[in-house]
Amino acid sequence: MKSLSRRLLLAAVVTALPVLPFSAQAQNYPDKPVKLVVGFAAGGPTDILARIFATAFGKALGTSVIVDNKGGGGGAIGAQAVARSDPDGYTLMFAGDGQLALLPQMMTKAGYETKRDFVPIGSVAGQSNVLIANKASGITDLPSLLAQAKANPGRISFGSAGNGTPTHLVAALFENATGVKLLHVPYRGAGPAMADLLGGQTNLMFVGTPVALQQASRPQMAVIAITGNKRSPSLPQVPTFAEAGIRGMGDETAVWWAVVAPAQVPQAIQAKLVQAMKTAMADPELRAAIAAQGADVLDKDGATVANWIARDHARWAGLIKSKKITTE
């Protein structure tokens, strides 16, 4: 009888064990460094912003936040790794709209589903898309671009960071909005695409505001136009597409970045992450560092980010389908 009682008591203790670690884990979180996964190589805009954010976020969390670059698949490799990680709050992802809203609908085997696999913690930054051109092409502004493109359908080339990347999609949107036909030249990353644009092998490229700021000082480069509903404080001399009467290239085309966690992270840990994010985003040094990159501070909550994901997924779905855009 005593033996049976012992066995029943042991079974009850073993059954209860899984509950205890989660409670203790949430109470003590974080008690070790947090990994912030970036789905791209070091040195790109996502990586730079992630490292700026990680410093302030780590200070707010009270632990080190280490950026972990897992490039490949247009960001899919990093997203897969985070989706499959332990939902303990020690593996997060710094991701853009491309990874969260666009990539899963352009890959037959993305390996993750945003709504199912992630919970948004909050947003960090955003930026407009800027169209730049090599002046050797004879393109110096929107009128000269449209004139050439209409006179030579499929001859004016634009480089992109790869099939299905934002640099490709915004150019496809520009084609739809203006009725012109351009020649898409995909590369394995923004770096090689920019190198060929500078060398005159391609004519045009859509880039983020920070890259446009760098290129604006080059004598062979022309900054043509910027997306958004108003001019950028970073590039006040550059007109918006809307000013030229081109519709559909306003704020809805902006690139944004957010922090997400694996979907099953306990609520108590989520709450700590949210609070730390609020504290970090209020840090004047972080906000100044984001602005110095030519990006805008976007400190919105997780519910807003979830709405953005759904909105952008739906907004780009028609273009992706009509243009038959894939990452493969």
Give tens-digit pLDDT for 66-110. Answer: 999 998 887 889 999 999 999 999 999 999 998 999 888 888 788
Predicted pLDDT of residue 104: 87
Predicted pLDDT of residue 12: 46
**Top mean-pLDDT range of 14-23, 55-64, 165-174, 183-192:** 55-64
For residues 142 and 72, the model is more confident at: 142
pTM tops 0.85, yes or no: no
- Sheet of strand 118-127, all strands in order from the earlier edge strand to the far edge: 65-69, 34-38, 91-96, 255-262, 118-127, 296-297
Domain with CATH 3.40.190.150 in the chain: 32-127+255-322
Domain with CATH 3.40.190.10 in the chain: 129-252
Alpha-helical runs (H) found in the chain = 2-16, 19-28, 45-61, 76-83, 97, 114-117, 142-151, 166-178, 190-199, 209-215, 267-281, 284-292, 302-322
* pLDDT above 90: residue 136: yes
Predicted pLDDT of residue 35: 98
**To 10 degrees, the CA torsion angle through 311, 314, 318, 320?**
90
* pLDDT above 80: residue 175: yes
Predicted pLDDT of residue 300: 96
pLDDT tier at 8, thresholds 50, 70, 90: very low
**C-alpha closest to that of 123 among 319, 254, 32:** 254
pLDDT tier at 34, thresholds 50, 70, 90: very high
Question: Taking residues 38-63, what's their average pLDDT?
Answer: 92
CATH number of 129-252: 3.40.190.10
Average pLDDT, rounded, for the chain: 88
CATH for 32-127+255-322, options being 3.40.5.50, 3.30.565.10, 2.40.30.10, 3.40.190.150: 3.40.190.150
In the chain, pLDDT over 90 holds for what percent of residues?
Answer: 59
